[in-house]
């Protein structure tokens, strides 16, 4: 398995699943959201441009994303793409570098998206993901893994979550049909427990 794409609305569990799946299958985890947040934190030219869009819950322009990703793709690497592609133009750009073997689609309704994202907390140090409702840390405000401080992402505010969901439906959801037509789509029930979703994903990839 060389190139696996994770699709799904914001908060559907792509990042949570990607961490476990990449480790188990020996895939390199490439999250465009994480790459962009790193650029923002370092205040690079790309980071400063991307921040304007991310703060509003809009997509960063395709050409910036494709340039950022292109240098990390090649035929001899096995990757798990998390949050990319997000538009048909990005999907076509990806195909200039690699072909997609499987697209895992995490299905989750809008109410659950809002519930999960409002309760998400992330470690400032190691990036570990928590959820005050479903996966709380042992000590309030502290990461179980490294003791780092937990924070709420700026784009996890209610008005930005609503915008991100709207943008997902408009720009990203057509990719589900796109990959179904290519015969590589596997739909997963994203409303299950993290373990349950992980088991579904392994089975969809033939590793149950």
Q: Give the Å distances, CA to CA, from 159 to 72, 74, 162, 166, 168.
A: 33, 38, 5, 11, 14
| 93 binds ligand AP5, rule: CB under 6 A | no
Beta-carbon count within 10 A of 4 CB: 25
- The residue within the footprint of ligand AP5, chosen from 3, 16, 46, 185 (CB under 6 A), is 16
Size of the site for ligand AP5 (CB under 6 A): 36
| 118 binds ligand AP5, rule: CB under 6 A | no
Q: Is the backbone peptide bond immediately before 78 cis, with ω within 30 degrees of 0?
A: no
Q: Whole-angstrom Cα distance, residue 122 to residue 141?
A: 9
Beta-carbon count within 10 A of 203 CB: 12
- Pick the piece of the chain touching ligand AP5 (CB under 6 A) from 22-30, 78-86, 137-145, 175-183: 78-86
* DSSP helix/strand/coil, 180: helix
**CB 5, CB 185: distance < 8 Å:** no
| 102 binds ligand AP5, rule: CB under 6 A | no
R_g over Cα of the chain: 16
| 201 binds ligand AP5, rule: CB under 6 A | no
| 134 binds ligand AP5, rule: CB under 6 A | yes
- Pick the piece of the chain touching ligand AP5 (CB under 6 A) from 39-47, 84-92, 97-105, 178-186: 84-92
Beta-carbon count within 10 A of 35 CB: 19
The contact pattern for ligand AP5, residues 149-188, with x = CB under 6 A and - = no contact, is ------x--------x------------------------
Q: Which of residues 37-56 bind ligand AP5 (CB under 6 A)?
A: 53-54
Residues at the interface with ligand AP5 (CB under 6 A): 8, 10-16, 32-33, 36, 53-54, 57-60, 65, 83-84, 86, 90, 116-117, 120, 129-131, 134-135, 155, 164, 192-194, 197
């Amino acid at each position: 398995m060389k190139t696996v794409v994770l699709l799904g609305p914001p908060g559907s569990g792509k990042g949570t699943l990607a961490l476990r799946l990449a480790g188990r299958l020996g895939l390199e985890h490439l999250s465009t959201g994480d790459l962009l947040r790193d650029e923002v934190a370092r205040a690079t030219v790309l980071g400063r441009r991307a921040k304007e869009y991310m703060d509003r819950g809009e997509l960063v322009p395709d050409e910036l994303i494709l340039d950022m990703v292109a240098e990390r793709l090649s035929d001899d690497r096995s990757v798990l793409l998390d949050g990319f592609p997000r538009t048909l133009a990005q999907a076509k750009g990806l195909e200039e570098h690699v072909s997609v073997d499987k697209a895992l689609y995490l299905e989750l309704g809008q109410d659950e998206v809002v519930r999960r994202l409002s309760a998400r907390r992330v470690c400032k140090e190691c990036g570990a993901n928590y959820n005050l409702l479903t996966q709380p840390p042992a000590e309030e405000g502290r990461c179980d893994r490294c003791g780092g401080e937990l924070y709420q992402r700026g784009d996890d505010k209610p008005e930005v979550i609503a915008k991100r969901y709207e943008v997902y439906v408009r720009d990203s959801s057509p990719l589900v049909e796109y990959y179904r037509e290519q015969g590589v789509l596997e739909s997963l029930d994203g409303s299950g427990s993290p373990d349950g979703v992980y088991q579904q994903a392994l089975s969809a990839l033939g590793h149950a």
